[in-house]
Amino acid sequence: MAPADHPVLACDEARRFEESYFGGAEAKEWPAMQRAGVALAEAVLRDFEEIGGFPTDGRVFVLAGKGHNGGDALLAAQAILAKFPAARAEVVLVFGERAFRPLARRAWQALVQDASDRVAVIDPGHRPRGYDLCLDGVFGFQFRPPLEPRVAALLAQVNALPIHLRAAVDLPSGLGAPGAFRADFTYATGIVKQPLVDGTHAALVGRLRYLDLGFFDAADVASRLRMLTPAVLAPLAALRAPESDKRTYGHLFILGGSRSFPGAVLLSALAALRSGAGLVTAFVPESLAAAFAGRAPEAMWVGWPETADGGLALEGQHLLRARLGRADALVIGPGLGSEPETLALVADIVKTSPVPLVLDADALQPDIVRTGPAPRVLTPHLGEFRRILAGDDFHDAPPTKDAVVVLKGRLTAISHARRGYYSPFGGPVLARGGSGDLLAGLIGGLLAQTPSDPLLAASRGAVWHGLAADALARAHGQVAVQTTQLLDFLAVALRAR
C-alpha cells in the first residue's frame, strides 16, 4: 500500500535528497522530469474543471527558466497541446535557449518537435496578451533573492495579465523576494518544500497540489512536517468483512444544536451517517428532534430539555449519562450556542467523558478543551484557534497534550505530539456556512470506527472532506452550490482511483 503521508522538507533537505536519489544520473532524472510534466498537465487540467474546463483552443503561456522547473513546464505544455490539437503556446525563454541545462534543453526540443507549428517564442520584453493558462517555470527551490531587474519586470507584467489559471511549478518564481510570481495553484513536483506550507506565502502560493512522483515509495525520510495523501483513505475503499453488522463500525453520539442555530447539528449528523459509522445518536433540543428525525431517520434523535433561550439545559444530562456506555465517540459543539448554562453542561461532560471526543464550534473554549482524561480532536477555524491556544506556534503549543488539532483553512493543518500534517485538498468551495459542521460529523464518525487513533480519524476526515470538495467544485463550480451537496461527493472521492 502506498504511504499515507510524505515528508515536507526544507529546500536544503530537498536538494540533498535529490542529489542522493538521482546521483546526478540523467538516465534517472529524465524519466522523472517526464513524469513530472505529465502529472503537472493532468493536475492543471483537472483544476481547470472548476472554471468550466480548459478551452479546446486554449492559449498557454510558458515562462521557461534554465533548469528543471523550466523543463517540467515545457513538458506539461507539450502534454496539453497533445490533448488539445487546436491549442497554442507562447513561450518566453527567460535566460535564452543557450542557457538551458541539458534536461531543460531536451524538454524544449521535445515540445518543438511535437508541436512546432503551434509554439511561438516571444521576447521577454514583448507585451503578451491574455491567456487561459500560465505555466511558471522560471526558478526552482535553489533561487536566492533578489530578482534580477529584467526578471522582476517580466513577472510584474505577467502578474498583471488577465489569465484564467496561473500555475507555478514546484515554487512560485521569486518566492521570498518582492515581485514574485502570484499563483492560483502551486504544483509541488515530487517533494513538498517547507515554504509552501508557510502561511506567510499564502497569497503567492495559492492552492497547493502535491504531485507524487514515487520518490518515497521505497524509502521514507524523517520529517516533523508531513503531507497527507489520498492513500490514507484506501482502507475505507476496500471490501468490508461479510460477517460484519452495524455494531462493527462504531456508535457515534452527537451533542449540539439550539433554536438559534438549528441546522449545524443536523449537518454533522448527515455527515456522520455518510462516514461509514454503524450507528449515530444525536442529542438535540427537544423542539428540534421530531423535524430532524424526519430529515434523517437513519439516526436516533433524543430530545433534550431546553433553556429559556433554546439551548441544551443542565437538567438533561441524565439522558446522555444513561446511554454513554454504548458510545465509541462523542461529537460536541455544532450549533451549540454560547449560553453559560449550556457551556457549563459541556464542561462537565468533557471533564468526565470516558470516550474520545470531537470538540467543535462553541465547545472550543479554553476551560473546556483542557479538561478531562479522554483523547480529543479539536476542529477550530483560525478565530477559534486563537481563542484556545495559549502560544503562537501551532505545533509547539498544543492546547492539551492529548489533543489532535485540525486547523481549518486554505491548507488544513493537523497537529499532534509536536508533529504537523497537511491536507492540500478542498478550496474556496468550502468557504460557506456549514462546511465545518460536515467535517466535525465526518471526523466523529471515523473516530467511532477507530476510537484508539484520533490522529487517523482526523487525517482521514480532513482528506476525505477536501477531496469531496474538489470533486464538487469540478462538477458544479465554486459558486452556485450548497454545502450539503458535498455529501453526495464523499462516495465519488472514496471510489476515485
Is the pLDDT assigned to residue 389 strictly greater than 90? no
pLDDT mean over 86-106: 97
Q: What is the largest CA-CA distance in the chain?
A: 79
Instruction: Report the C-alpha gap between 279 and 402 in whole angstroms.
Output: 26
Q: What is the pLDDT of residues 255-301, one digit of tens each?
A: 999 999 999 999 999 999 999 999 999 999 999 999 999 999 999 99
Sheet harboring 131-137: ordered strands across?
A: 119-121, 88-93, 59-64, 131-137, 163-169, 185-189, 207-211
pLDDT tens digit string along 129-147?
789 999 999 999 989 999 9
Cα–Cα dist 95/172, whole Å: 17
Q: Order of strands across the sheet with 376-378? A: 192-193, 5-9, 225-228, 419-423, 412-416, 403-407, 376-378, 357-359, 329-332, 251-255, 279-285, 300-304
Spatial distance between the Cα atoms of 45 and 93, rounded to a whole number of angstroms: 23
Q: Which residues sit opposite 6 in a β-bridge?
A: 227
Per the rule left: phi > 0, alpha: psi between -120 and 50, beta: everything else, 463 is: alpha
| pLDDT number for residue 271 | 98
Looking at 206-245, list the stretches that DSSP marks H as alpha helix, in order from N- to C-terminal side: 234-237
Res 392: pLDDT: 43
Q: What backbone torsions phi and psi does residue 203 show, to the nearest 5 degrees?
A: -65, -25
Average pLDDT, stretch 417-442?
A: 96
The model's confidence at residue 418, banded by pLDDT at 50, 70 and 90, is confident
* Identity of the residue numbered 494: L
- Confidence (pLDDT) at 429: 98
In the chain, ranges of CATH 3.40.1190.20 domains: 233-495
* pTM (whole model) above 0.85: yes
Asked if pLDDT for residue 356 goes beyond 90, the answer is yes
Pairing of strands 192-193, 5-9: parallel
- Residue 332 is predicted with a pLDDT of 98
- Rounded Cα distance, 26 and 34, in Å: 12
Average pLDDT over residues 66-88: 98
- What residues have CB less than 8 Å from 219, skipping those under 6 apart? none
Q: What percent of the chain has pLDDT over 90?
A: 91
Q: What is the mean pLDDT of the chain?
A: 95
| Torsion angles phi and psi, residue 136, rounded to 5 | -95, 110
Q: Which amino acid is at 325?
A: G
DSSP 385-409: HHHH-SSS-TTT--SSTTEEEEE-S
Cα separation, 395 vs 146, in Å, equals 31
Residues 143-174 pLDDT 10s: 999 999 999 999 999 999 999 999 999 999 99
Q: Please say whether the dihedral angle defined by the alpha carbons of residues 195, 200, 201 and 206, taken in this order, is positive or negative.
A: positive
In angstroms and rounded to an integer, the radius of gyration of the C-alpha atoms of the chain is: 25
Question: What b-and-e string marks burial along 411-446, b requiring 16 or more CB atoms within 10 Å of the CB?
Answer: bbbbbbeeebbbbbbbbebbeeebbbbbbbbbbbbb
pLDDT of residue 2: 72
Give CA 417 to chain center in angstroms. Answer: 20
Q: Give the mean pLDDT of 320-326.
A: 97
| Residue recorded with cell 511561438 | 120
The sign of the torsion formed by the CA atoms of 431, 467, 265, 360 equals negative
**Strand 329-332 to strand 251-255: parallel, antiparallel, or no bridges (unpaired)?**
parallel
Quick one: pLDDT band at residue 308, thresholds 50, 70, 90? very high
pLDDT in tens, 233-259: 999 999 999 999 999 999 999 999 999
Backbone angles phi, psi at 404, to 5 degrees: -100, 120
Q: Which CATH architecture has domain 5-223?
A: 3-Layer(aba) Sandwich (3.40)
> Assign residue 469 a region: left if phi > 0, alpha if psi is -120 to 50, beta otherwise?
alpha
Nearest-angstrom CA–CA distance, 69 and 75: 10
- Dihedral of CA atoms 185, 191, 193, 198 in degrees, nearest 10, equals 50
Query: Cα(291)–Cα(210) distance, rounded to whole angstroms?
Result: 43
DSSP secondary structure code for residue 145 in this structure:
S
* pLDDT at 397 exceeding the cut of 90: no
pLDDT in tens, 23-46: 999 999 999 999 999 999 999 999
pLDDT of residue 220: 84
Q: Which CATH class is domain 233-495?
A: alpha beta
Structure confidence at residue 401 (pLDDT): 58
**Residue 393 pLDDT greater than 60, yes or no:** no
What confidence score (pLDDT) does residue 427 get?
95
Distance CA 145, CA 496 (A): 41
What is the reported pLDDT for 396? 52
**Mean pLDDT over residues 82-108, rounded?**
97
Task: Report pLDDT digits (tens) over 3-20.
Answer: 899 999 999 999 999 999
Residue extent(s) of CATH 3.40.50.10260 domains in the chain: 5-223
pLDDT at 391: 52
